[in-house]
A = this chain, B = another copy of it.
Amino acid sequence: MCVIDPSQEMTVRTSGIIKPPRKFAGVVIATTGLPARGKSQIAINLSRRLNWSGESAKVMRVSDYRRKRLELYASHELFQPDHAANSGLRALARRDAIHDCAAWLASGNTIAILDATLVTHEQRVEVFDYFYGQLGYRVLFIECVCDDPAVLEQNYEEIVKNSTDYAGMDPAAAIEDIRLKVAHYVQAYEPMHEKTYPKIKIDTATMEITAQKVTGHVETHALGILGSIALKPHTLYFSRHGESEYNVLGRIGGDAVLSARGERYAQALASRINSMHIPDLRVLTSRLRRTIATARGVEAPQEHVAALNELDAGVCEGLSYEEMQEQYPQEFAWRDQDKLRYRYPWGESYIDIMQRVESVIAELQQANNILVVSHQAVLRCILGFFMDKTPEELPYMDVPLHTIIRITSQGYNYKLEFIKLPIECVNTTRTKPKNCSPNRTADDALLTVPAHYDIPDPWRNPGNGPTLVQQH
């Protein structure tokens, strides 16, 4: 049996012989297992993390293709293994997804994730022979198992809440329908005993992981990522530090203390968070004074993490935008041209921050009830990860001062809430100016700089002009 109609094979290489896989060519990651074992969540989490580290990964979810072919979900009967028309429909949907995986890799992307059940040996052989044997890509199976009735019950409830199939259906009826759907799959199910295929098996109740024949940098990276995925619903809290004396002066970077208003925000944040009585709350801050001071009143264990420090502006640390334009007009223009990739001399870019915060993201993915107090650029990257932003969107995300940001998992997506606290503060967001040429005038370069006080830097030039310390 051939999964793919050869006439539809597009530009991918085909030949009768089995080729050795190209080690740096594309990888297909295919999930296998009964419904409600966490396969989709694992697929989407893998995709997010792999994309974050510079790969180009995409999930092809067979159930999405099934919904494309049959818009209205009726009931579990669709999944009866002995119903020829329905089996055929599901095979077509699987074929669509496999086809798009091949197209994704053929156009130069690195990882295609096939989110499928592949409950029979025959289906897995087809996938392996097609991608590995015919197309020369590497294949990794991820087998999801779970026998814990309590975890399964929770998974059923999450699916009813979040799946399109059950939108508008009575929850009790929906859960009964899932049970019957799973029962149909159990009839056909052949657990994956194949010893010759690269495979990671994950028990999504205990999170015990077994790896067999896993080699290749993408596959071993995936193995590491799976260790840091937790599938339980969770809530995370974020806040920028309170307004700092550098914010007031319109200066970037540095290690300034909080302004008087920033101190008031720290108190308001602590009261608000403490009054929420969040169970087992933990706090992560950067190692800079303004985040540590902001979190000080929150009643929870606190850890100061260097990976949460603000983007390092290198030679521009502590400068105002006006000084940057005066001293480094070329650099200032380059940054406006490509804020995502631009690196300050001896400093960092947003891309660098994305890498630096990966360890924090790994920790947050498996944690619940953490408050992260950090900085604008760093929080843009972390929130962008959970909200599925593209790298290009990160440098322009809105992360206002004096606001608690809460994200709550909903299936594999997140709900985002802003809780603005009523403490005034400056605006620190400079939008992209129209003219980004290195030859632009200073006026053009400074057009979008937000209003701020204009005092010589008290930290760099103590005694030179009025110091802000006297303002307290």
Contact = CB atoms under 8 A, between A and B. Distances in A.
A87 interface: no
A54 to B, nearest CB: 9
Interface string A355-393: 100111011001000000000000000000000000000
- Tell me whether chain A's interface is mostly helix, strand or loop, or mixed: mixed
Contact of A301 (B20, B303, B359): B20
A305 B24 contact: yes
Nearest to A282: B23
Given A223-B223, A227-B220, A334-B345, A355 B355 contact: yes
A216 interface: yes
Contacts of A217: 228, 358-360, 362-363
A190 B364 CA distance: 36
B209 A303 contact: no
A69 interface: no
What number of copies of this chain does the assembly contain?
A: 2
B214 A223 contact: no
Given A209-B211, A303-B24, A363-B216, A225 B224 contact: yes
Contacts of A359: 24, 217-218
A23 B303 contact: yes
A211 B208 contact: yes
Contacts of A206: 212
Given A208-B211, A211-B209, A214-B209, A24 B220 contact: no
A220 B209 CA distance: 11
A208 B360 CA distance: 28
Contact of A228 (B215, B284, B346, B358): B215
A72 B127 CA distance: 58
A221 interface: yes
A208 to B, nearest CB: 5
A366 B213 CA distance: 12
Nearest to A224: B224
Interface in A206-256: 206-228
A307 interface: yes
A415 interface: no
A210 B206 CA distance: 12
A223 B209 contact: yes
Contacts of A209: 209-211, 214, 223
Given A24-B303, A24-B305, A227 B215 contact: yes
Interface of A: 20, 22-25, 206-228, 282, 284, 301, 303, 305, 307, 331, 334, 341, 343, 345-346, 355, 358-360, 362-363, 366
Closest CB pairs A-B (n = 4): A224-B224, A220-B227, A217-B359, A209-B211
